[in-house]
Chain A
Amino acid sequence: MVQVNLWAGLRRFTDGHDVIEVEAKNISDILKGVSKAYPALKEIIDGGVSVSVDGRIISSGVTEPVNQDSEIFLLQQLKGG
């Protein structure tokens, strides 16, 4: 299981939890797993998020692999100028 850290604003969709566990080998699994565990988050995730894996921010690629002990954070979708 991979531990996924959420930003605090999402806690109200997860019964107050800011860390949730999902089965995942890559980012796609994480996003699907989070949406399945808490369907209320699906719209936010589908709207676009970035994911940090061991400190590296993955902006859009869902095939990036993750390890079971990877540090995972959901982040706001990044855009630059």
Chain B
Amino acid sequence: MALDDQSKPYFKFVGTRPKRPDGIDKVTGRAKFGADSYAAGMLHGAIVRSPHAHARIKSIDTSEAEALKGVKAVVTRADFSKDIKFTSGKDSEHWNVLENVMADEKVLYDGHALAAIAATSALIARDAVKLVKVEYEILSHVTDVDEAMAIGAPVIRKGASDKSVPSGLHENVVSYYESGHGDVETGFTEADLIIEESFKTEATHQGYIEPHACLASLGSDGKGELWCTTQGHFSFQKVCAALLGLETSQLRVTASEIGGGFGGKTTVFIEPVALALSRKTNRPVKIVMSRSEVFRATGPTASTSMDIKIGMKKDGTITAGQGTFRLQGGAFPGAPGGMTAMCAFAPYALKNVHQIGYSVMSNRPKQAAYRAPGSPMAAFAVESVIDALCKKLDLDPIEVRLKNASRKGTKASYGPTFEEIGLVECLETAKSHSHYKAPLKKGQGRGISCGFWFNFGGETAVSLALSEDGTVQISVGTPDIGGSRASIALMAAEELGIPYDHIRCTVADTATLGYNEISHGSRVTYATGLATIKAARDAINKLCKRAAEKWGIPEEAVKWEDGHAVPSGPNAGDFEPLSLKNISEKMGKTGGPIVGHFEANPEGAGVSFATHIVDAEVDPETGKTQILRYTVIQDAGKAIHPSYVEGQFQGGAAQGIGWALNEEYIYGSDGRLQNAGFLDYRIPLASDLPMIDTVIVEVPNPGHPYGVRGVGETSICPPLAAIANAVSQAAGVRLTELPMSPPSILAALKAE
């Protein structure tokens, strides 16, 4: 539903920076994360994983493992639903999840699960894993996206392609997208300069500090409980029930606190396995992934191979843009080839644009979303070429972006006409920022990039219950991955007119609310916030009704003002205002509990844009890059809790710095992951990062009562390109592959 009733001329609570509600719990260790659940009689699960990139399972012998003292059960694919069959397209959604959770006939990547053990201790379970004997027929494998599309590449799975794929492409191409408008060939003839370049990015992991963890209890009666770290416990309930052949409502799922997700905790991995082991042993089973398992079998992003061609006039006008984006998504369909292509040129108003996206399978773990899936890689490629054009034509990179910027009324590169958007405001802010004017020293470079993301609404339900002491409890169904409990409490405070401290927001379990879509797509402050505002207004209507009954006047003659029911005008009568507490303390005798509800599918998320400025210095002796200064400028629509918004901006930049400079999945020629740990997979340390400055731009989203836009993802769209542009200037050579690690920079300098 579209909700355009923006009615707040000013805010009392929204836009303030109260303390975070989960702060004390988290600094004292009281907060319960995924691995913090325990149950009496609990067993521990461990998973047998493939050491091969691609192999047929000839046999699994678990007899020795089962004989080990303390081992209580072993499960394989045979312990999951038999009703889930492989077909092509969306009908195979559950089959693909199940196949990833537990391999059937073939293992498809290094780390692919094929059996699991429950034992009385984690140590015994891990020892038992080593006793499982698996006989493999090793098959040829492919892990590189270009090689996976080439003639002769091993086919990961026949029949996995959807109907969008034109004939003649390799069977590993499972989805195809093409869009655009105008005529790019004509556009290129109008250009004074055309640059065509190819780019590659490696897969990176979301790098959440908390590994996947869960505790499951499932009886032979089909009734179960699951506690887990997740971005979407309602989705986990639905998927786990399907994979185990349960009725959805018989499985109650509770989300723990979450130690980071970034898109990587939107899908099940160990949860169905723990449930299957619990069902078999009739005891609760806990599974906690090791970091190595997290790297080998969850996440990461898609790796990419991209070709970009852009034409520009001497005055900076872009005459045409063309891009081809090949996304490697691991051994399953789903790589965001289409979205990557759709995002690529979205910041610019182009007469002629054409983009193609391929989703490609390979022998790697199934890719997962990572903040704005696909958009950061697309921006890296497109914004690098724009930067190169600016350099060659001696044009200011912000002026060129302003000249071509999308704005309200622009026909987007992916088709529709933009509503109110804030890209121009971001660019103008960047242009006037002190960072952009600061002098650079020799050996330093400055990079600029824009970024774009769609944002999302989705199914949402909220309950808001009043207590007799005048405080309020809000139940939401969206795990808090970015401070949403604070922003939701602020929005409720704004509507109800009571202090923020009088409101507690709880992430409720699946038995408490209707279905809530996963916390993804930067949707929670937008959609759950919108639902909270509407639930508060529902409660206010009920409060006003109670006041009307007390005063003996019509309901319509009462309004809610600054936390009180008051007569709506002089004709309504003269009554003392009734506070929320005045009404709620008597609610048990005046009609019963007062609860506000809202359930809907908000559909006005509003797209968002950002502009980043980054300064970098490259050591030509070692190839090491130091980020010297970083400024994030992004349109938040309306910042509900500015500190959290700034945190999202900084987090996106920090993760982008890691992605750009060091992080990468390294596969050996045997198809095995070579760096499945934080020692060899280098995420940024505090010493790698400068203070990341932020500027919040507010161009209200017409689809939200307060103007909110999602902010969680857009901040990771510009960094790869902005850093690449800074590093390329500092190094004096264009870097076209990520990560720009010291060896790759040295190699580029040497080649120059």
Give the B-binding residues of A (Cβ under 8 A). 5, 7-10, 12, 40, 43-44, 46-48, 52, 54-61, 63-64, 71, 73, 75-76, 78-81
Least Cβ–Cβ distance between A41 and chain B, in angstroms = 9
Contact A81 B369 (CB under 8 A): yes
Q: Which residues of A contact B415 (CB under 8 A)?
A: 5, 7, 52, 73, 75
- Mark out the residues of chain B between 488 and 509 whose CB falls within 8 Å of any chain A CB in the assembled complex: none
Contact A81 B419 (CB under 8 A): no
Q: How far apart sit A63 and B601, CA to CA, in the bound complex (Å)?
A: 10
What is the interface of chain B mostly: helix, strand, loop, or mixed?
Answer: loop
Least Cβ–Cβ distance between A23 and chain B, in angstroms = 21
Q: Which of A7, A52, A55, A63 is B177 in contact with, Cβ under 8 Å?
A: A7
Given A61-B1, A75-B414, A80-B521, CB of A8 within 8 Å of CB of B180:
yes
Contact A55 B522 (CB under 8 A): no
Contact B342 A81 (CB under 8 A): no
16 other contacts beyond A46-B89, A64-B603, with CB at 8 A cut-off? Answer: A7-B178, A9-B356, A12-B166, A43-B89, A55-B417, A56-B606, A56-B703, A57-B603, A59-B456, A73-B415, A78-B454, A79-B336, A79-B456, A80-B713, A81-B371, A81-B521
Contact A64 B1 (CB under 8 A): yes
Contact A57 B90 (CB under 8 A): no
Q: How far apart sit A61 and B369, CA to CA, in the bound complex (Å)?
A: 22
Given A48-B90, A80-B263, CB of A61 within 8 Å of CB of B603:
yes
Q: Which residues of B contact A78 (CB under 8 A)?
A: 339, 454, 456, 521
B458 within 8 A of A: yes
Contact B339 A79 (CB under 8 A): yes
Q: How far apart sit A52 and B418, CA to CA, in the bound complex (Å)?
A: 10
Contact B604 A56 (CB under 8 A): yes
Contact B89 A80 (CB under 8 A): no
- Mark out the residues of chain B between 137 and 184 whose CB falls within 8 Å of any chain A CB in the assembled complex: 162-164, 166, 176-180
Q: Which residues of B contact A10 (CB under 8 A)?
A: 164
Least Cβ–Cβ distance between A58 and chain B, in angstroms = 5
Contact A79 B163 (CB under 8 A): no
Q: Which residues of B contact A58 (CB under 8 A)?
A: 603
Q: How far apart sit A5 and B503, CA to CA, in the bound complex (Å)?
A: 46
Q: Which residues of A contact B422 (CB under 8 A)?
A: none
B373 within 8 A of A: yes
Q: Which residues of B contact A12 (CB under 8 A)?
A: 166
Q: How far apart sit A1 and B111, CA to CA, in the bound complex (Å)?
A: 53
Q: How far apart sit A54 and B416, CA to CA, in the bound complex (Å)?
A: 7
Q: Which residues of A contact B179 (CB under 8 A)?
A: 7-9
Q: Which of B1, B177, B264 is A76 in contact with, Cβ under 8 Å?
A: B177
Contact B521 A47 (CB under 8 A): no
Q: Which residues of A contact B459 (CB under 8 A)?
A: 60
Q: How far apart sit A53 and B85, CA to CA, in the bound complex (Å)?
A: 36
Least Cβ–Cβ distance between B518 and chain A, in angstroms = 9
B716-743 interface bits toward A, Cβ cutoff 8 Å, 1 = contact, 0 = none: 0000000000000000000000000000
Contact A79 B703 (CB under 8 A): no
9 closest Cβ pairs, A-B complex: A81-B263, A80-B521, A81-B369, A9-B178, A76-B338, A52-B416, A73-B415, A47-B90, A7-B179
Q: Which of A9, A73, A79 is B369 in contact with, Cβ under 8 Å?
A: A79
Contact B1 A71 (CB under 8 A): no
Contact A73 B416 (CB under 8 A): yes
CB-CB nearest in chain A for B457: A59
B520 within 8 A of A: yes
Q: How far apart sit A70 and B724, CA to CA, in the bound complex (Å)?
A: 41
Contact B601 A61 (CB under 8 A): yes
Least Cβ–Cβ distance between B608 and chain A, in angstroms = 12
Least Cβ–Cβ distance between A30 and chain B, in angstroms = 14
Least Cβ–Cβ distance between A7 and chain B, in angstroms = 4
Q: Which of A44, A71, A80 is B162 in contact with, Cβ under 8 Å?
A: A44
CB-CB nearest in chain A for B421: A55
CB-CB nearest in chain A for B454: A78
Given A43-B89, A61-B601, CB of A76 within 8 Å of CB of B342:
yes
CB-CB nearest in chain B for A72: B416
Q: Which residues of B contact A60 (CB under 8 A)?
A: 458-459, 601, 603
Q: Which residues of B contact A81 (CB under 8 A)?
A: 206, 262-264, 266, 368-373, 520-521, 713
B2 within 8 A of A: yes
Contact B162 A47 (CB under 8 A): yes
Q: Which residues of A contact B703 (CB under 8 A)?
A: 56
- Mark out the residues of chain B between 322 and 361 whose CB falls within 8 Å of any chain A CB in the assembled complex: 336, 338-339, 342, 354, 356
Q: Which residues of B contact A9 (CB under 8 A)?
A: 164, 176-179, 356
CB-CB nearest in chain A for B1: A61
Contact A55 B1 (CB under 8 A): no
Contact B605 A57 (CB under 8 A): yes
Contact B458 A59 (CB under 8 A): yes
B523 within 8 A of A: yes
CB-CB nearest in chain A for B231: A81
Interface core residue of B166, B370, B603 (most chain A CB under 10 Å): B603
Q: Which residues of B contact A73 (CB under 8 A)?
A: 414-416
Q: Which residues of A contact B1 (CB under 8 A)?
A: 61, 63-64
Q: Which residues of A contact B373 (CB under 8 A)?
A: 79-81
Q: How far apart sit A9 and B368, CA to CA, in the bound complex (Å)?
A: 24
Interface core residue of B416, B417, B456 (most chain A CB under 10 Å): B416
Contact A55 B416 (CB under 8 A): yes
Q: Which residues of B contact A48 (CB under 8 A)?
A: 90
CB-CB nearest in chain B for A65: B2
CB-CB nearest in chain A for B702: A56
CB-CB nearest in chain A for B409: A55
Q: How far apart sit A43 and B453, CA to CA, in the bound complex (Å)?
A: 27
Contact B2 A64 (CB under 8 A): yes
Given A80-B263, A81-B266, CB of A57 within 8 Å of CB of B176:
no
B100 within 8 A of A: no
Q: Which residues of A contact B456 (CB under 8 A)?
A: 59, 78-80
Q: Which residues of B contact A75 (CB under 8 A)?
A: 342, 414-416
Contact B603 A56 (CB under 8 A): yes
Q: Which residues of B contact A44 (CB under 8 A)?
A: 162-164
Contact B416 A57 (CB under 8 A): yes
Q: Which residues of A contact B339 (CB under 8 A)?
A: 76, 78-79
Q: Which residues of A contact B417 (CB under 8 A)?
A: 54-55, 71
Q: Which of B336, B371, B454 is A57 in contact with, Cβ under 8 Å?
A: B454
- Mark out the residues of chain B between 674 and 716 whose CB falls within 8 Å of any chain A CB in the assembled complex: 703, 713
Q: How far apart sit A73 and B414, CA to CA, in the bound complex (Å)?
A: 9
Q: Which of A7, A8, A40, A56 is B2 in contact with, Cβ under 8 Å?
A: A56
Least Cβ–Cβ distance between A15 and chain B, in angstroms = 16
Least Cβ–Cβ distance between B487 and chain A, in angstroms = 17
Q: How far apart sit A61 and B460, CA to CA, in the bound complex (Å)?
A: 12
What are 20 pairs between A and B in contact, CB < 8 Å? A7-B178, A9-B164, A43-B163, A52-B416, A55-B416, A56-B606, A57-B607, A59-B457, A59-B605, A60-B459, A61-B1, A64-B1, A73-B414, A80-B263, A80-B369, A80-B373, A80-B453, A80-B454, A80-B522, A80-B713
